[in-house]
Every structure is written in C-alpha cells, then in structure tokens.
Chain A
Amino acid sequence: MSNSSSSTAIETQSLRKVFGEKVAVSDLTLTVGRSEVFGFLGPNGAGKTTAVKMLLGLITPTSGIGHVLGAPLGDHRIRARIGFLPEHFRFHEWLTATEFLHLHADLYQMPGDLTNRRVPELLDLVGLSPHADKKLAAYSKGMLQRIGLAQALLNEPELVLLDEPTSGLDPVGRRLVRDIIHDLRQQGTTVFLNSHLLSEVEITCDRVAFIKHGEVLRTSRLKSLVEGELTVEIKARNLSPEIILGLSHWSQDVRLDGDHISLTLSSELELPAVNRYLVDHNVDVYALKPQQISLEDLFIQIVGTDGGL
C-alpha cells in the first residue's frame, strides 16, 4: 500500500483547489524530505490551510496529484502514521482530557497497552497531567491547544502537520511547541509547519516555502538564507575614490555617504578579507557591521507588502 522507505514525506504536483469562484490554491508543487522540519509561510488567506487539508485528504483537489508517505492523496489508511493539529481546533468538550486522548487512540486503532503508555506520557509532555481528569469545557484556549498537540502525537507519527500551532499560546506555550518540534526532529519525524509567525519558523525549520495566492514563490534552506547574502555597514575615515573602486572586487553594490560605506556581500566569509583590504590601505575603520537579512525582510521581499490581498 505505501512505500515506507520512500525518501520523500510529501510530494505534490500542480495541486489546485477552487471553491466556486475562488481559487484557494492555484498551483502547488512541493517536495518535503523525510525528517525535515518544513515551514510553510504565507500571509493570511494564501491557501496554507487548504493545502494542508488536501495533504490529509480532508479536501479533494480540483486537479493535480500528490503523495504523502508514499500513498496517494485521500488514502485514509496512511493517516494512521500522520498527526494533525487543525488551526481552528475545537474538541468534544464534554470529554475529560484522558477520555479525549483515549478516543483518539481508538480512532488510530492503537493497541490497548500502547494507549495506556502513551496517554499519560503525552499529558506529561504537554504539561497537562494535573488536569487530566478535567472536562475540556473547563480548559483555557492555551490548554486546548496543548491537548490538541498531544492528540496529534499519540500514534508516534512519521509526519506531523501543524496548522498555526502557536497562534493561541502564551510565550511559555510557544516555547513548549518549539521544544516539541525540536524533539520530533531528533526522533527523525517529519514536521510540516504552517505559520505566519516568522520568528517561530526561523528558530525551528530546516527549510521554508513562501506561498502567496496558493502558489509557491520560493523554497529555500533556512541556513543558506541566513548564511547567504548580507549587507555590511562600514564607518571609516581616510577614504579615497580608488579604495571605493577596489571594493567592487567583492560587491557590485557599493555606496558611499560621507564616512559611511554600505555594500552587499554574497557571504559572511568575505568579511575578514574586506576588513584586511581596508586596513592595508590605511583606512581608519571605526565600525564594520554585518546586517543579516532576517526572515521577515525576506518574507516582505518575496511575498510583498500587500499581504497577498
């Protein structure tokens, strides 16, 4: 039925979903490797939730194909190996936390002894052990999100899909989500994280895709993003036009404004050479400040400031 040894966790080709007149996802082509923590970034209404629901088989694509853990989209059996936390989570609030987790373990068709081990384990992980026998109706929004997260991890999934998992959480809760994602990475679990909270993604993800109007604009390794292109601000005296010209060896984009030079380097690794060049040419260097492009700058650069409207 499914190919567990497949090296990709998610693979889609030209997925498209149209609701009536509205194009929710226009053309989604995406590959997520096993054990990757993948961030799916985009403004509100970019089609992130629709995309996740298509991966899970909750929404049938209008066209396009895809595979999740080796199985074609819509195969219900593969969901035994997937965990999912929906964005607008609402649960059967007349259940206690323990009953709620037992219900979902039953739906995962987990054997009884595994359930009896996993339920207290997960309550402990999300910090809800003291509230295990309270009805969910008495839970705060943050507690509900935690129990939702526990529900998504019950079956020791190979792939976890989290749709805005920190949106309702206080800083402690966010930290918890980060730690959980960190642990999942250690265990080799693939994590697909929908988020518009860039700092979260910056900390947790290996790779990100930027999505707007239901289309992937760019996919990039987060490390190479951060280690890549950077702007350097230099404050120096004793500058001559020849020296400025010499800097074009490293950068096409050198600007001089009084004592301030700004230039763009392709890598942080070029910084010492630039510094040595200036010192060797008797320039008095007061400051040399690399300005890394943050994910936020990149987001605005790629997605634009209109917020995808």
Chain B
Amino acid sequence: MKALSSIWRNTNVIARLTFREAARRRILLAALLLGLAFLLIYGLGFHYMNQEMETSPYGPGLLERNGIRNFMLLAGMYAVNFLTIMMAVLTSVVTLSGEISSGTIQTLVAKPVQRWEIVMGKWLGFAGMLTLYLLLMAGGVIALVYLISGYSPPHFGLGMLFLWLNAILLLSVSFFGGAMLSTLANGVMVFGLYGLAFIGGWIEQIGSLINNQTAVQIGVISSLIIPSEALWKRAAFEMQSPLVRALGFSPFSSSSVPSSIMVWYAIIYILLALGLAMRQFQRRDL
C-alpha cells in the first residue's frame, strides 16, 4: 500500500510538472486559441453550406442532406485526427531526450523516484492534455454540426474513443523513441512510421475498391507496423452514415474496415510501446 501511494505521488508530481511546463511555455494557450480559430472557420463553412442546402428550392432531400452533413462532419474529424496526432508527437517528442541532453533530468533522477515513474508521469500529463484537446476539437465539431443543423452522427462516442486511441498510440511511440534516440531521430522515426501507415491505408482503400487482394494485404501489413491509420478508419467507419458508407469511397470514410482484432492489436501496441519506453529509460545511464 505504501509503495502504491509512493508511486501515485511521484507520477502525480511529474504529471503536474508536465502540465505546468506546457502552460508556461504557452503550448496550452496556442493550442486553445488556434483550436478555437479552427472551430470558428469550420462552423462558418458548415453554416453557409447547410443554409444553401436548406434554402435552395431544388436542394437535396432530407436523406441526402444528412448524408452531406455526415460527409462534412467526417471531413472535420479527419482534420481533427491529423491535428491531434501532430499535437501528440510535436509536444512529446522532446520530453525525454530533451531533458537528457540538456541535463535537467539529472536532479530529477537523483531523487527517491524510480525512472519508470518519471516516464509514466510525463505520459499521463501528455495523455491528459491530448484528451482535453480532443474533447475541445472533436467535441466542438460535433457540437457545431448539431447546433447549426440538428444533425448528429451515429456512434460518435465510439468514434472519439478511436481518435483518442490514435493520439495515445503516437504519444506512446514518441515516448519509446525518446527513451532511446535523440529528439531529431525520434521525430524522424515517429513521422516516418506515421507516413508509412498513411500510404499503406490508401493502398488498402484503393485495393479494396478495385478488389485487388495484394494491395489490401500491403495495407494490412502497414497497419501491423503501426496501426494509426487503421484506428482512423475504424473511427470514420463508426461515425459514417449509411449513405456515405454506400458511396464506398471518399477521403474521409472507410470502405475497408479494420476488424476488432486490429483495435485490440493497437491497444497492445500502445501498452508495449509505453512499457518498453519505461524499461529503456530505467536501464539507461544518465
């Protein structure tokens, strides 16, 4: 019990420190202001398109209208997914390697804390910030669409959960790299992996459209290397309307749906990346 409360205290101190650093370095403020600007532009765009649809005498029927609204919402979510991932990587890529190379880590690790508690604390701090960011951005998009048009997408809770997992996935990979590599090498690694999953996802998408099994296989393999695009596709699948699904192919929706096994794979991937980050940092000579 005493050991547990000590772990709780230490991770908590580091998590709060991580939050405070982000606040002091104006990261939180910049993210909030630009997030609000994003929502403003999205809201305005959605409002005028929706108005056009509703007032035009030759406009689409209700079903088509909701289909178009769904398409617009997924486009917003696609941007939110990308921004959240950027946020996850750009803010965390420097956190371990930077403190090691600057030397600020020295007085921290000389305290009665375990190294993995420092990794865990930082991870929790960033995960907390990303959760708030995603709630603001994805929640904002969904709320705006609802307020303007009265439309809400199916399963948006599940959809947001998968977007959240995606951010956490890249956060954990960036921690893993940060425990071993320099900041730059880590950035190159994480974005390289992300790009690989991205192009793999497109190949899979097109492959499933033209019924080419090899292309689909390439996509699946790239999802095994890092399941980030798979999580987005699963999130999009949950939130897309039947009409958009019937269209089959769009940049923001999914025709080749990742299975539940892929979701579990992503969860294990996250735990493994974080666990290896803690192990690597625990062993490292500082």
Contact = CB atoms under 8 A, between A and B. Distances in A.
Interface stretch (B77-85, B86-94, B105-113): B105-113
B103 interface: yes
B114 A76 contact: yes
Interface size class of B (residues with CB under 8 A): 20 to 34
Nearest to A17: B285
Nearest to B9: A109
Residue from A86, A88, A103, A107 having most chain B Cβ neighbours under 10 A: A107
Q: Which of B10, B113, B114 has the most CB of A within 10 A?
A: B113
Nearest to A77: B112
A94 B25 contact: yes
A53 B286 contact: yes
B285 A79 contact: no
Contact of B109 (A19, A58, A77): A58
Nearest to A58: B286
A94 B102 contact: no
A108 interface: yes
A15 to B, nearest CB: 14
Contacts of B106: 58, 84, 86, 88-90
A4 B210 CA distance: 74
Interface string B1-38: 00000100110010001001100110000000000000
A107 B108 contact: yes
Contact of A60 (B17, B102, B109, B285): B285
Contacts of A104: 107, 111
B104 interface: yes
Nearest to A86: B106
Contacts of A151: 107
Given A58-B286, A60-B285, A79-B112, A109 B104 contact: no
A151 B17 CA distance: 17
The secondary structure that dominates the B interface is helix
Interface in A90-119: 90-92, 94-95, 103-104, 106-109
Contact of B112 (A76, A86, A88, A94): A76
Contacts of A103: 13, 17
A58 B110 contact: yes
Given A60-B285, A94-B25, A108 B112 contact: yes
Nearest to A79: B112
Given A94-B24, A106-B13, A109-B9, A86 B103 contact: yes
A132 interface: no
A59 B285 CA distance: 5
Given A90-B104, A92-B104, A84 B110 contact: yes
A217 interface: no
Given A89-B106, A90-B103, A108 B285 contact: no
B109 to A, nearest CB: 6
A151 B286 CA distance: 19
A59 B100 CA distance: 13
A70 to B, nearest CB: 15
Given A19-B285, A58-B110, A89-B103, 16 more contacts: A53-B285, A58-B106, A58-B286, A60-B283, A76-B114, A77-B112, A80-B111, A84-B107, A86-B103, A89-B106, A90-B103, A91-B107, A94-B21, A106-B13, A107-B112, A109-B10
Interface of B: 6, 9-10, 13, 17, 20-21, 24-25, 102-104, 106-114, 283, 285-286
